[in-house]
Amino acid sequence: MIGVLTGVKSTDQASLDVVSVYGGNSWHKLIKVQLLSALPSVFAALKIAAPASFLGAILGEYVGGPDVGFGPALVNAQQSLEVARVGGLHLSLVLLQVLVISSLGLSLEK
């Protein structure tokens, strides 16, 4: 949300004036100019928010979520003292997170 607001407020005033001169209303200014100028800020915020949301989902499962998923699997492995399974689950989570971040980064770079 902060990224969107920052991008919308950083819109060039000359671009907004051009829309006004050609008869555009405030809705046209928002859609055609301000949201387009906010896209770089939105994508920068998305690069930060995506890993945090992934971590939040795992922690939510870990604390008290559903009976299936990585969280309960980690709890069961820790309670059973299965060190190799805990390490494997952590490694798979790290690899999944790296895959998500790198695919997001590659898609935003184009």
Digits of tens for pLDDT over the chain (110 positions)?
777 888 888 888 898 888 888 888 888 888 888 888 888 888 888 777 877 887 777 777 777 666 777 777 888 888 889 899 888 888 988 888 888 778 777 666 65
This prediction has a pTM of: 0.57
CA distances 92 to 11, 74, 89, 98, Å, are 42, 12, 5, 10
